[in-house]
Structure 1
């Protein structure tokens, strides 16, 4: 059996732990050959295919490393691949042929909902045998309680809140922390509770600025002259999300933290400061939970290949690895439920959502 593995979409902590687990289980458990594809499906576009034969020796020492030794990309949809003149064309068949050229019998794709959906479409076109592993700091992929990278991103955001708490108290300031999460508020909610935030703003719960300001004023009256506000990047202000266009013409979230801070300063007169964590949440060494989940996912994915159970994605539920149909996982976007136990916990602690 010749097995391929690729990491696709945005990077996160824990990807190397997945690569290590897949390699060790495949080689030691089944005697498979494992090829790591470079830069996701871009490696399959190269001729010869850009891939590296992985071995237990080649994955030594990577368990604790951030990023991915295979590299990754979140640009270049193979069905609408951008050209130098700005035009797009379908290069999916080239990728299908790259899989065949490398002589792969199966592929393990590590990605979020968008990446896994594209890989599944390629697999159906090319007759590939595909197994998916969920990774996204957003933790918004359906049918899994935990995706690789989420816990590490939450840890970074929590550490930031711990540091901001001290300087906020020292200067009687309102500190606004903008975190990632795309269209879901899981990072903001979890880190907000762990880091002792006073206000958590997430896209799933509509807020009103007068209520946010009322919370800050309430703290002032009680003698607490500082506050911590966590804002998910996709939160709306004045009914719209704050975005900008990057150098590649893609729309990105950005600016909501500054907008919220200005509104707070205007309605409370408080001195405000903004911290935008951005890609700091993606980098660094994975926390223990991400290493464990990545390892469990890698082993389980190889076992699915050995059992010839394809078109599946692994997941984490009630401290067990489960697997579900890949199309169901990609279709089931997991936002924060306003009635979620963590939302109730936050409210019970006196944390405001501005609603």
Structure 2
């Protein structure tokens, strides 16, 4: 019997999602003879009535998708079906509606592309409704456990590195300290990798406590050596010296990280007398075409996810370890957050290059 599988993107968008979709559709339809149904706006599409979905035709899965950012299916990082926010302010459990949507479509399995938060919700739905779930990791933060890389991370690092490449000449032209704030909700992987690749003088990440006196001393030391500029990279989740998170409140009351770059800039200006400027990359790290590595990883993950369904291996997440694709337990992947190791190779490399972490 022809298999019918669903696929959805959940959580924040990132580069490489459409490359995953294309790989799944081509492998499942052309090589397996299956039908692939794209689910709109993550689990929200399964809650809609009629279910919001579309059949994904392999003939429309052109190479344009390899280069296209975002997700053609749409995504959401709001509306947990187990505590779905209603207009009057209270929450209701709509999980059974999601499960019923899966049944209405006659799906044999679903591939979920997401991060740790999405996987926790999807796995809970799968356990409750007996759904066959396979996960594909995507997160620019690269904080999912048991995989060395997730879709979207490499492109985010590339964007941050290019920003440093562009900030350095203007910093040198105006005798300035440039502070670059990058994303990193729980982990400092983007800041660390981009800081090394882009020649930063200071990298501040949530995994390593810092003191502004140490950061200022590094800037003063650079001046004494005769260099007229400096580059500082800071992850958005880095707190103030007193340990307070720096957040912004959006319409609707939702708080997100943002503003630590301005805090660091103002403190450095006051402590060193340097002229400082701040650049906040924000969602620039999520958008745009994926780089080559993200395209390759995305397609390898997509093909392997289809193979897992064929083998009847569910409740599994594809992962990249030791230069090959494997599969691991979704539960274990979400239970082992992959933050920066303060004693790891990249931190050691940065210290060896004279980069300060402010500690």
TM-score, with structure 1 as normaliser: 0.99
Aligned match of 1:323: 327
Which whole-Å CA distance do the structure 2 matches of 1:89 and 1:58 have between them?
38
Aligned match of 2:71: 68
Which whole-Å CA distance do the structure 2 matches of 1:138 and 1:251 have between them?
18
Shift of 1:190: 0.2
Aligned match of 1:81: 84
SS of the residue aligned with 2:82? coil
Shift of 1:58: 2.0
Aligned match of 1:275: 279
Aligned match of 1:57: 59
Aligned match of 2:187: 184
Aligned match of 1:173: 176
Which whole-Å CA distance do the structure 1 matches of 2:60 and 2:325 have between them?
26
Aligned match of 2:25: 23
Which whole-Å CA distance do the structure 1 matches of 2:56 and 2:311 have between them?
21
Which whole-Å CA distance do the structure 1 matches of 2:66 and 2:59 have between them?
13
1:230 corresponds to 2:246: no
* 1:261-306 alpha-carbon deviations (Å, 9 max, x no partner): 0110011000000000000000000000000000000000000000
SS of the residue aligned with 2:136? strand
Shift of 1:187: 0.1
After superposition, residues 247-286 of structure 1 pair within 5 angstroms as 247-286=251-290
1:338 corresponds to 2:356: no
Aligned match of 1:125: 128
Aligned match of 2:318: 314
Q: How many correspondences in the alignment?
A: 355
1:351 corresponds to 2:355: yes
**Alignment gaps of 5+ in structure 2:** none
Which whole-Å CA distance do the structure 2 matches of 1:158 and 1:134 have between them?
23
Shift of 1:28: 1.3
Which whole-Å CA distance do the structure 2 matches of 1:9 and 1:88 have between them?
19
Which whole-Å CA distance do the structure 2 matches of 1:352 and 1:46 have between them?
51
* 1:11-45 alpha-carbon deviations (Å, 9 max, x no partner): 00000000000001101121110000000000001
After superposition, residues 109-148 of structure 1 pair within 5 angstroms as 109-148=112-151
Which whole-Å CA distance do the structure 1 matches of 2:294 and 2:142 have between them?
12
Which whole-Å CA distance do the structure 2 matches of 1:42 and 1:231 have between them?
34
Aligned match of 1:47: 49
Shift of 1:248: 2.4
Q: CA RMSD in A?
A: 0.6
Which whole-Å CA distance do the structure 2 matches of 1:49 and 1:341 have between them?
47
Shift of 1:244: 1.8
Shift of 1:48: 1.4
Which whole-Å CA distance do the structure 2 matches of 1:304 and 1:29 have between them?
14
SS of the residue aligned with 1:298? helix
